[in-house]
Amino acid sequence: MNRSRTMTMASAAIIAVLGLSACAGGGGGGGETTAPEAEIGGEIQYAWWGGPARNEKTQAVIDLYQEANPEVTVQGTTAEFAAYFEQATVQAAGKNLPCVPQMQNRLMADYADRGALMPLDDLVDSGAIDVSNIPESVLESGRGSDGNLYMIPYGAAFGSMIVNTTQVEAAGLDLPPEGYDWDWLAEWGADLTKAQGKPSLDLVRSQTDSLEAWMRSHGKDLYEDGQLGFDEGDLVDFWDYVTDLQDSGVAIPAETASEQNSLPLEQLGVSTGNQATVVWPANGLGTAQATIDAAAPGNTLATYPLPTGPDGYGNAFWVSGLAISANCSNVPTAASFIDFFVNDPEAATVYASDNGANVNTENLQLILDDEATTPAKKAELELYAFVADQDVAPAVYGKGYASIFQQNLPRFYQQVAFGELSSKEAAKQFIQEAEAVLG
């Protein structure tokens, strides 16, 4: 790239930023200034989380975008989910978060509340980012506690029970019926364990997702108005339910759960044919099926919604989307990239709902109609449509999700499982620490 061109781009970027801030300062009156093509150009960084398969798909989307916008270079960076957010924390602290960081509603508050992300409402109003095909309820999950839009959603994932139907049928048991509940699961798991002679359920490894489904199906939630949405007694009920399953050998023992806590799906028993079920986001089905096809051919995996309780289905949607960092200096290009990612039909089919069902309703239909879509992906998307039909209440997450639910929850549960604390004492301490985090 020659110098004069760099200079032109830099000045274009500066003008764009000035233009935007003027627009923001002007309040509602600035809605008409649609970002002209000339402002789009230069280089932006886009960071996402995921494994090798998703990296390939994401790169394909980037290539399509660069083809359509040859004046733009998109630098991609990637890491696994947990590592991604650790990195993002440090980058946000140093004010060098990539221009377009991928976000998720469960963890977004820690970034949005602290001013690391840019409100996107003006870009939506100006038409730079088109959200007309995203249902309002889904768009809501991209809003921060101040009501501003910080993330444009593109994929909705949800927890599911991945079941090895071949093994279940070989054991002479029924597959989970529609609306099966927690009691049914405990009995069925016990029968399956008896037939197979090994633990069949996995609710405790990374138990946040199981806990969330339990709370929501019992009329509670992880968060309520930014505070914890359940109390000590609720947590004790859940822990007693899973410890009973563990003690009777139906669920994997605490040692195994701890060992597997950070393993990717490919290395878990359900993917290698050693375990009949696992609680995992439904968009993992394709990966698990591909792994088991190689490791133990002849096994078919299927996804089911998480168990129901007195208050119906406990599923929640974990919505991933794209944000713009507060320190981004090339906002028009970032906005144009996001608009492309969320709306372009070709990009949608190439990405194939890899990080949860595409929330753009038109593109979701395209993927369902696409011949290249694998049966596993179709099954997942159909399950998404089914769960979405069950009137799932929107899940609103407060701050400290990583700290409270990814770190503290398994830690206190382990102290129960290894006999260091009673479930009541551990629940009490868990709630205390969570309240300290939430303030």
Partner 1 sequence: MSQLVADLVSVENDEGAAPGGRAIPPRSAAQKRRRRKETLSAYAFLSPWLLGLLAIVLGPMLASLYLSFTRYDLIGTPEFIGLDNYVRMLFEDPRFYRTVGVTAMYTLISVPAILIFSLLLAMFLNRGIRFLGIYRALFYLPSLLGGSVAIAVLWLQVFGSEGIFNAVLALVGIDGPSWIGSPSYALLTVIALSVWTFGSTMVIFLAGLRQIPDTYYEAASLDGASKFRQFLSITLPHLTPVIFFNGLLTIVNALQSFTPAYVISGGTGQPADSLLLYTVYLYLRGFVDFQMGYASALAWGLLLALAAITALLFWSTRFWVFYGEDS
Q: Is 103 in the site for partner 1 (CB under 8 A)?
A: no
Distance from C-alpha of 131 to C-alpha of 154, rounded to nearest angstrom: 10
| Cα Dmax for the chain | 74
Q: Is 296 in the site for partner 1 (CB under 8 A)?
A: no
Q: Is 110 in the site for partner 1 (CB under 8 A)?
A: yes
Applying CB under 8 A, the span of 67-75, 159-167, 229-237, 252-260 interacting with partner 1 comes to 252-260
Q: Is 254 in the site for partner 1 (CB under 8 A)?
A: yes
Task: Please state whether beta strands 152-164 and 277-281 pair in parallel, antiparallel, or not at all (unpaired).
Answer: antiparallel
Q: Is 40 in the site for partner 1 (CB under 8 A)?
A: no
Q: What are phi and psi of 303, to 5 degrees?
A: -105, 145
Q: Which of 394, 418, 422, 435 binds partner 1 (CB under 8 A)?
A: 418
Q: Is 145 in the site for partner 1 (CB under 8 A)?
A: no
Distance from C-alpha of 403 to C-alpha of 246, rounded to nearest angstrom: 25
Shortest distance in whole angstroms from residue 255 CB to partner 1: 3
DSSP 313: E
Question: CA angle 413-419-420, nearest 5°?
Answer: 80
Q: Give the ranges where 361-422 is alpha helix by DSSP (H).
A: 361-369, 375-389, 401, 409-417
336 in Cβ contact with 66 (< 8 Å):
no
Distance from C-alpha of 426 to C-alpha of 235, rounded to nearest angstrom: 9
Shortest distance in whole angstroms from residue 361 CB to partner 1: 35
Q: Which of 169, 183, 255, 382 binds partner 1 (CB under 8 A)?
A: 255
Q: Which of 5, 114, 174, 435 binds partner 1 (CB under 8 A)?
A: 114
Judged by DSSP in three states, 158 sits in strand
Q: Is 116 in the site for partner 1 (CB under 8 A)?
A: yes
Q: Is 262 in the site for partner 1 (CB under 8 A)?
A: yes
Please, which residues bridge with residue 313 across strands? Answer: 308
Q: Is 258 in the site for partner 1 (CB under 8 A)?
A: yes
Q: Which of 90, 170, 175, 294 binds partner 1 (CB under 8 A)?
A: 90
Q: Is 104 in the site for partner 1 (CB under 8 A)?
A: no
Please, which residues bridge with residue 333 across strands? Answer: none
Q: Is 183 in the site for partner 1 (CB under 8 A)?
A: no
| Residues contributing to the site for partner 1 (CB under 8 A) | 82, 86, 89-90, 92-93, 110-111, 114-116, 254-262, 400, 402-403, 406-407, 410-411, 414-415, 417-418, 420, 437
